[in-house]
Amino acid sequence: NAGVTQTPKFQVLKTGQSMTLQCAQDMNHNSMYWYRQDPGMGLRLIYYSASEGTTDKGEVPNGYNVSRLNKREFSLRLESAAPSQTSVYFCASSVSPLAARTDTQYFGPGTRLTVL
């Protein structure tokens, strides 16, 4: 049981290049999330997917697109990378059970992205 996995672990891009960050979970969770973490800023939600087939914007969605490929996989795409997108990106998932009052997120190890 690997939990939440992310690829790649590290990536360096030039301004204007594109790339896709991959995330997969094997816990049969319904919801998945993408965060970015910058020094002194905490974790900020980029996009989330409450269930397979749905995606919604979080706090900082500009410059990103997402795809919930299936229940297991949730990818984050940077179409034209900018230096401001240099950050550590975390993917997370949660059960989001029906009729539940609360939830718990499980995080991947992160992708460290540098845009030059």
Partner 1 sequence: LAKTTQPISMDSYEGQEVNITCSHNNIATNDYITWYQQFPSQGPRFIIQGYKTKVTNEVASLFIPADRKSSTLSLPRVSLSDTAVYYCLVGDIESYQKVTFGIGTKLQVIP
Site for partner 1, rule CB under 8 A: 4, 31, 33, 35, 40-45, 48, 50, 56, 58-59, 90, 92, 94, 96, 100-110
Rank residues 86 and 96 by Cβ distance to partner 1 and give the closer one.
96
Greatest CA separation for the chain: 46
Query: Which strands form 19-25's sheet, in the order they lie side by side?
Result: 4-7, 19-25, 74-78, 65-68
C-alpha to C-alpha distance for 37 and 89, rounded to whole angstroms? 6
Q: With respect to partner 1, which residue has the nearer C-beta, 18 or 100?
A: 100
Closer to partner 1 by Cβ: residue 13 or 60? 60
